[in-house]
Amino acid sequence: MFHLRFRLERRTMIKVILVDDEDIIREGIGSFIDWKALGMELAGQAANGKEAMDLLQQIKPDIIITDVKMPKMNGLQLLEQAKKEKSNCIVIMISSYDEFEYAQKALNFGAYAYLLKPIDTDRLVELLKEAAKQLALNNSREELLVKARQLLNKPEEIRESGLSSTIYRAKKYIEDNYWKSDLRLEDVANYVYTNPSYFSTLFNKEMKISFGSFLTKTRMEKAIDLLKNSNMKIYEMAEKVGYQNVSWFTVAFKKYTGKSPGEYRKNYYSNPIN
């Protein structure tokens, strides 16, 4: 009988897989624990380590709860392979064997905890809560390392710009996505992994202009280029630079240049040097 089960997870949830060759154990743990309350979801179940490896590659779980003694691939072998596949994966071992040798091997291979059967669900829940905190800490450390590497490996063009890596990437993102009519400050802040309020303050400080004003400036400069170098109709141009309403585009353009798009184009072709 094939016991492998799998379902897609929401990224915000901590993904857990449960591995045991006894159906009753899997069903018991799966049903007795309120996964949602823990911020977790039981992403899959497997009857042995070999099936679990398939799940590991598909789901990339954050936590594995696994038995030690299983056919095809035992829990210790699974633990060793899981750590190679995803080093920050937390593995909780469960076993009927109250032997120091098993526990020692499990801990040496990087197990987070070793629980004896019958499983004390309250204790397992406490371990899962502790594991969730450890995952959050690991993620925070990883984010700090990524930011440190970005600073250490700061490209020459970023250094020459005089901007921080965050605002340089934000500026580039705006210049590449100005044409999106629904582009918001929150979107750019999310792109650079920054709180919107802090991002707005930092952007103003470094760019000496607000996010909204910079976005408008970028769109208007592109519109000016299109007026000079294309035969595009005004309504087409408005859509091209991020305005779904041609009237709003015309008002914004006149406020920026002092002329309507039509007047600007006529004036340019009458006086091309300008």
CA–CA separation, 200 vs 212, rounded Å? 10
Alpha helices in the chain (DSSP H): 23-32, 49-59, 75-85, 100-108, 121-152, 156-161, 165-177, 185-191, 196-207, 211-229, 234-240, 246-257, 261-270
What count of residues does the chain have? 274
- What is the DSSP secondary-structure string of 36-104? GGGTEEEEEEESSHHHHHHHHHHH--SEEEEESS-SSS-HHHHHHHHHHH-TT-EEEEEES---HHHHH
Query: What confidence tens digit (pLDDT) does each residue in 133-160 have?
Result: 888 887 777 676 666 666 565 666 676 7
- What's the pLDDT at 161? 77
The alpha carbon of 110 is separated from its chain's Cα centroid by a whole number of angstroms, namely 26
Please give the Cα distance from 177 to 180 (Å, whole number): 6
Question: Tens-digit pLDDT profile for the chain (274 aa)?
Answer: 344 443 433 347 899 999 999 999 999 999 999 999 999 999 999 998 899 998 988 888 999 999 988 988 888 889 888 888 877 889 999 988 766 677 777 887 888 888 888 889 899 999 999 999 888 887 777 676 666 666 565 666 676 778 888 899 899 999 999 999 999 999 999 998 889 999 999 999 999 999 999 999 999 999 999 999 999 999 999 999 999 999 999 999 999 999 999 999 988 776 654 4
Query: pTM above 0.85?
Result: no
* pLDDT recorded at residue 5: 43
- Residues 8, 35 contacting (CB under 8 angstroms): no
Domains of the chain: 5-140 (3.40.50.2300), 158-270 (1.10.10.60)
**Sequence letter at residue 51:** E
Beta-carbon contacts of 74 under 8 Å, excluding residues fewer than 6 positions away, are: 49, 68
Cα separations (Å) of 76 from 142, 231, 238? 27, 69, 62
248, 242 Cβ separation under 8 angstroms? no
In this prediction, residue 147 carries a pLDDT of 64
What pLDDT does residue 150 have? 61
Burial class of residue 115, CB neighbours in 10 A (0-12, 13-18, 19+): middle
